[in-house]
Amino acid sequence: MSKIILAKSAGFCFGVSRSVKIAEQELKSGKCFSLGPLIHNESVVRNLENQGLLVINSPEEAVPGSRVIIRAHGVSESEIESIKNKGAKVIDATCPYVKKIHEIVEEASKLGKHVIIIGEKEHPEVNGIYGRCNSA
């Protein structure tokens, strides 16, 4: 009989685990939104939806007075501002490592440096990073 050994590092990374915990905590206070799926795991997102999470696809869908959770991959600063301008509260569940990349890109961009982003053009994390550049 074969033996299955599960790696000690199996499971979600720190940033994803943190985002899910933030969402679960927010959902204790009632329904809220996430801008795009919180993470890339359909069963976890479905479970969160069963707890009251509503996935929206653009800041324009935010409801005044609601709470909008920012996905683990982060979003652009303009999307955050759009959510706030709709009168919704932003709950930032962006992975701290992704936020660090945002800070580096923002600083380099402010200094007039050219920022080269390599990644899948339509991936939410890439879009969030690109949205931190002055030329975005």
CA dihedral (109, 134, 126, 55) in degrees, to 10, reads 140
Indicate the burial class of 19 (C-beta count within 10 angstroms; 0-12, 13-18, 19 or more): buried
The span from the CA of 18 to the CA of 95, in Å, is 7
Residues labelled as active-site residues: 125
Average of per-residue pLDDT across 109-128 = 91
The one-letter code for the residue type at 100 is K
Q: What is the pLDDT, as a whole number, of residue 71?
A: 95
Q: What is the pLDDT, as a whole number, of residue 12?
A: 86
Contact, 90 vs 83, CB < 8 A? yes
The span from the CA of 86 to the CA of 35, in Å, is 13
Q: Tokens 């982060």: give the residue.
A: 74
Average of per-residue pLDDT across 22-40 = 96
**Taking all residues of the chain, what is their mean pLDDT, rounded to a whole number?**
92
Q: Tokens 């050994």: give the residue.
A: 5
**pTM, two decimal places:** 0.85
DSSP H or E stretch at residue 18: helix 14-27
The span from the CA of 40 to the CA of 92, in Å, is 17
Question: For 5-18, what is each residue's pLDDT tens digit?
Answer: 877 777 788 899 99
Average of per-residue pLDDT across 80-105 = 96
Three-state secondary structure call for residue 54: strand
* pLDDT higher than threshold 70 for residue 90: yes
Average of per-residue pLDDT across 75-94 = 96
Q: What is the pLDDT, as a whole number, of residue 48?
A: 97
Q: What is the pLDDT, as a whole number, of residue 10?
A: 75
Domains and CATH numbers, the chain: 14-130 (3.40.50.11270)
